[in-house]
Structure formats: C-alpha cells, structure tokens
Amino acid sequence: MTIVPSSLDKRGQILRELAFTTRRVGEELHGSAEITPEMHVPGTTILRTSILATWADTVSGLLASLVMGPRVPVTLELDVNLYRPAPGEGTVLVVGRVVKVGRSVFVAEFEFTVDDEPIAVGAASFMVAPNPDVQLPPTLSVELPPTTDRLPMPLAERANCERVGPGTVLLPYSIEGLNASDTINGGLIALAAEEAVLSLAPGDSLSFLGLRYLLGARVGPVIAEARLREGVGRVELRDTGNDNRVTTLATARTFGR
C-alpha cells in the first residue's frame, strides 16, 4: 500500500516527491499530479507505468483505509492497463471507486486521464495487515494536500534502483522508501519490476503491469529478476536480507516499440 505520511515523517519521502494530491468527490477519491521529465521512462518522453501503479495504489489504499482503519491495509494485487504509451507532459487525473467491501478483502477500481484523454484503467485488492500493532497514523487524511517537494532527479536514480545486469535490478532498503507498515513501498517494488523488464527492452514502455504482493520487503535489498518473451515479461522479486524470500510476482507487457 502506498500511503504518504506527513511531511515530518521521512517514510515515503521519495514518493511524496511525485507531488500527488487527492480529494474526495462524493463516493470517489480523485488524485492528480503534473508529469515532469524525472518521471519519464529512461531514453523516452513517456510517463512510467510504475508511477501510474504507485498513484493507483495510493488512491485505492486511501479508500481502503476508510474501511479498514485504524488497521493498515496492505495491497494484495494491483494491475494497470494502458490504451497507449502515456504522454510525457500534462496533468494526470485518477478517479478511484470502491468495488467491494468484504470481511477480509477490499477491492477498488480506477481510471486515468491526462488532460481529459483516457489513458489507463485497473483495479487493486487489499487485506488488513496481519500485525494488529501496526496502525495508521491517527491524523491520516485521505485528502493529500499539495506539496512543494519535487523529484530532484529521475525516479530510479532517486530510489537507487540499479540495473545490475540484463533483466536484473537491485532496490535497496531506505527509510525514505517505506510505507505505513514499515516495508519497502509497493510503488518502489513496481518501479523495480518495471526496470527489470525495461532493461531487456531499451526505449520501450509497459502497456500492462500486474503485481501480486506476497510478502512485505522488510530488510532488503530487493532483487528483481525478469524474463521477457514476445513482449510478455515475468518478474520475481525477492528480499535478499530475509532469506531471499519472494515478496512479489509481477507480469508485464511492452508496447513493442
């Protein structure tokens, strides 16, 4: 789950620099942000699909917190499907809606537009964090205010997410990359998965990114290893500091540029 804490909390600082804001509109939660060059896929002027996944996780997770709070919702699955490569400039708007509130699982859907042009859709599911001692901040609001924080460099560089070989990426543990349950933020996990696939397809971008979160990455670094065949990628992410356990399985499809 990608919930951005207060500005006094260094957790989530990296993703706070995406300058994403949210507001309630009836039963929906709307989020928006301006695209900057630091959000582009390397070597292109295309917005990263992993950033869309991060914003989708934020909106869906905040909706889940209204139901599951004060317990922390954790993301089970999330997918983003793009109609075409995302633009490299403009204002992104995401609209999140509740689909299901069950006893153990919460589901939300979302739609993305850029300057009123539809670009992507998707859905996410959540469960309550197993540890009852992990709780949301009492001051948490689902309306994230504007911030002056901005990415000072490309996102992968800011997160020290490093391509160490074809199909292999290393993402370190950093307090600035943690979420509300003190695990590596799901948005940065999405970034590592995207980077692993794109290292095998330079200059391309992802038309689909699906993530199955199996275990929180509590120690790090996380290693992401991808295979790509006929434009379809499969990524396995492991927490090397926690007995190399699998934390996330990701599936991706490239546009084949």
The rounded radius of gyration (Å) of the Cα atoms in the chain is 16
Q: Where are the domains of the chain?
A: 13-131+153-254
Predicted TM-score (pTM) of the model is 0.94
- 8 Å CB contact between 183 and 221: no
Q: For residues 162 and 10, give the distance between their C-alpha atoms in angstroms, rounded to a whole number.
A: 22
C-alpha to C-alpha distance for 208 and 120, rounded to whole angstroms: 9
Average pLDDT, the chain: 93
Is the model's pLDDT at 257 over the cut of 80? Answer: no
Please list the alpha-helical segments (H only) found in 69-198: 155-158, 186-198
d(CA 148, CA 146): 7
- The pLDDT of 16-36, averaged and rounded, is 97
Provide CB contacts within 8 A for 5, sequence distance 6+.
11, 12, 137, 140, 180
Q: Which of 178, 47, 201, 34 is nearest to 120 (CA)?
A: 47
Reply yes or no: is the peptide bond before residue 221 cis, omega within 30 of 0: yes
Question: Any idea which fold 13-131+153-254 has?
Answer: Porin (2.40.160)
Residue 2 has pLDDT above 80, yes or no: no
The more confident residue out of 102 and 191 is 191
